[in-house]
Amino acid sequence: MPRPIERVCVFCGASNGGRADYAQAAQLVGKTLATRGITLIYGGGRAGLMGAVADAALDAGGRVIGVITKLLEGRELAHTGITKLHITDTMHERKAMMAELADAFIGLPGGLGTLDELFEILAWAQLGIHGKPVGLLNICGYYDSLMTFLDHVERESFLRLTPRTEIVLEADAARLIDALGTVGVAHARFPK
């Protein structure tokens, strides 16, 4: 049975991307998490979709925990108005801390950093390191091609996860958050 969702880690871009819909979706995710009493865990940045999701959660009275590296903090990219900011030495430590703090994960649109975070979490699920739910907010079909690729990887027998049942794909923020509370990763042997 899935655990109650109290903290959701959101992976997303440090830029706004090419569509206003992406920032609006990030704001809606932040607001929805906050109004449901769910703490936002994220990369600790103030720019792009990261800033949008954090600011919306804060504006709605939510709790926001950021995790950023010394390098990025030193470039004045850290959000200084959040509830708590953890500073790590490396990107590896950053990702591990975000994963440890979270009960579930949501991927919003983003670039290589976002995909890196998502794929690490999915790899850990496949290895049984965690059984926490993973969802993708599929605004404007952003993740359609990724899901098609993961279906291909599964058909070619390189994937033990079943992408269509173990990754929640949803275009609506509220429905995605609702769905995270009802699923887990079936292959996880050591849920935390």
Burial class (CB in 10 A: 0-12, 13-18, 19+), 3: middle
List pLDDT tens digits, range 116-131.
Answer: 999 999 999 988 899 8
Model confidence over 19-56: pLDDT tens digits? Answer: 999 999 999 999 999 999 999 999 999 999 999 999 99
| Whole-prediction pTM | 0.92
Class of domain 7-180 (CATH, top level): alpha beta
Please report where in the chains the tokens 């993973």 appear, as a residue: 134
175, pLDDT greater than 50: yes
Confidence of residue 186 (pLDDT cuts 50, 70, 90): very low
Range in 45-54, 71-80, 107-116 with the lowest mean pLDDT: 71-80
% of residues, the chain, pLDDT over 70: 93
pLDDT class of 148 with cuts at 50, 70, 90: very high
Distance (Å, whole) CA 144 – CA 116: 17
Average pLDDT over residues 76-100: 95
pLDDT confidence of residue 39:
98
Extract the tokens encoding 30.
Answer: 């932040």
Angle between helices 173-180 and 20-35 (to 10 degrees): 50
pLDDT value at residue 3: 65
**pLDDT of 189 above 70:** no
- Surface-to-core class of residue 92, CB atoms within 10 Å of its CB (0-12 exposed, 13-18 middle, 19+ buried): exposed
